[in-house]
A and B are shown apart, each in its own frame.
Chain A
């Protein structure tokens, strides 16, 4: 079946790197995504990676994909207080249209 799991909380100090982890079960994922949700707001797409890639870098964000272990991570370099939010990983499945399967979200707290 389709399942996406994330740890629920992460706390870091400003300026440190944050690493948010995600595991998924469906081996027919096509794309994997990271979304950011601030309180009371919608979801902002941060980045995504095609399932045949193992890394993607975009400014302060680095996505690592280990397809063998079905493990995805998001690294935020030089974390700022404005990065405090809930981060969701999501996968899209081959042949299921654009439907996304979301994890339960990781709440990132950045302390000054």
Chain B
């Protein structure tokens, strides 16, 4: 059973480009969470999704950021018109459901905006 898979591991974008980060949850997991880790900081919650639904997006910046978790395929975190301040590590976690105690994390995507 593969763990949470994120790709790409590293992504370099120029200012103004779009960044697409992908997360495939563990098999059997229908809940996905995205977190952002700025340099020298802890992880900050961004968004919580179930299949085809956004449950909690209270941590998402109001503009340029969006997330989806379609019925088929991975969850996507999309950042439009990236700026230098978007440079960070973006982690995805999955769990089977809200009652479960364990969320398993992917290896992260390290986004660098140049």
Contact = CB atoms under 8 A, between A and B. Distances in A.
Contacts, number: 60
Chain B contact surface mostly: strand
A45 interface: yes
A43 B102 CA distance: 12
A41 B91 CA distance: 10
Given A48-B101, A96-B56, A103-B42, A42 B108 contact: yes
A110 to B, nearest CB: 20
A12 interface: no
B45 A101 contact: yes
Contact of A88 (B43, B48, B55, B102): B43
A41 B107 contact: yes
Interface of B: 4, 31, 33, 35, 41-45, 48, 55-56, 91, 93, 95, 98, 100-108, 110
Given A42-B91, A43-B91, A100 B42 contact: no
Interface in A71-112: 88, 90, 96-105
Q: Is the interface of A mostly helix, strand, loop or mixed?
A: strand
